[in-house]
Each structure stands twice: as C-alpha cells, then as structure tokens.
Structure 1
C-alpha cells in the first residue's frame, strides 16, 4: 500500500502535546495510537509518542502483534 511519507520532525509534533494526534513509528511505518487509553497524553510507560520506537520493542512486555490494533497513517522517511 502507498502511504503518505512523513519526516521525523513531522512525527515529533504528533506527540500528544503539540497536536491532538498521537503517532508512533515502528519499522518505517507510522501508527495512529490517539484512541488508545494506554497512550493518553502521548506517554506509554517510559515511552513518548512522536518518535520511532523500533529499538524499544525488545524491552516491551508485548510482541509486534500489538501494532495490528492501530491504523497505519504513513511511512517514516
């Protein structure tokens, strides 16, 4: 699928603080987690929205399957 492309700077503004959208990136895809109760105010445990969390997953208590719950809104470039 051909998703819109967004920069890290654009993603950073979707942190739940600067804009109402809460986005995170994983392996080049950007996910909208705005509706997740676990990402209220852009924070999920020790992780902050608006960034690429690819390297963080290894420390998470869940698998990559968690991303299936969220809509892909773009690609990170």
Structure 2
C-alpha cells in the first residue's frame, strides 16, 4: 500500500489537486465522489487532513469510511 506524508495528504484537499482525500486511523480515504465533500469541505471539516481526533464529535460512526476506497497509509515520521 502506498504511503503518504501529512504534507502530501494536505495537497489532496480539493483545491490544490483534484483529489479529495482524508485520513482516519492511519488510512487515507478517497472521498472525491461524495457530494458531502464538494470543494473539499464537509460541514466544519476540511479534506487533506487526518480526521481521527475529530470523529469523536461526529454524528455518525467510523463505519462511514466503509463506503470509500482506501488509497494509502498515512505516515507520521
């Protein structure tokens, strides 16, 4: 599985590159096709970031990521 740094993930924010990605628990998900992530924003959350800490306040469970393709692993070196 391809690995990406936080800097590389940050570029997939729907603004700098056409991809809209976000990370959760070390995996990076492609949310580009989701209407809820248009322009790289989903409510107060921005794409191109690790959303692990923010999920505790979300109105849904982590199972929401099951519908998205995993595109890589987030490396935190």
RMSD: 0.3
- After TM superposition, the structure 1 = structure 2 runs for residues 29-48 of structure 1, keeping only pairs within 5 Å, are 29-48=27-46
Q: 2:72 aligns with which of 68, 71, 74?
A: 74
Counterpart-to-counterpart distance in 1, 2:28 and 2:43? 19
Across the two proteins, how many residue pairs are aligned to each other? 75
Q: TM-score, normalised by structure 2?
A: 0.97
Residue 30 of structure 1 and its aligned partner are, at CA, apart by: 0.1
Residue 31 of structure 1 and its aligned partner are, at CA, apart by: 0.1
Residue 27 of structure 1 and its aligned partner are, at CA, apart by: 0.3
Q: TM-score, normalised by structure 1?
A: 0.97
Counterpart-to-counterpart distance in 2, 1:28 and 1:65? 15
**1:61 and 2:59 are equivalent in the alignment:** yes
> Any unmatched runs of 5+ in structure 2?
none
Equivalent residue for 2:26?
28
Q: 1:51 aligns with which of 22, 25, 49?
A: 49
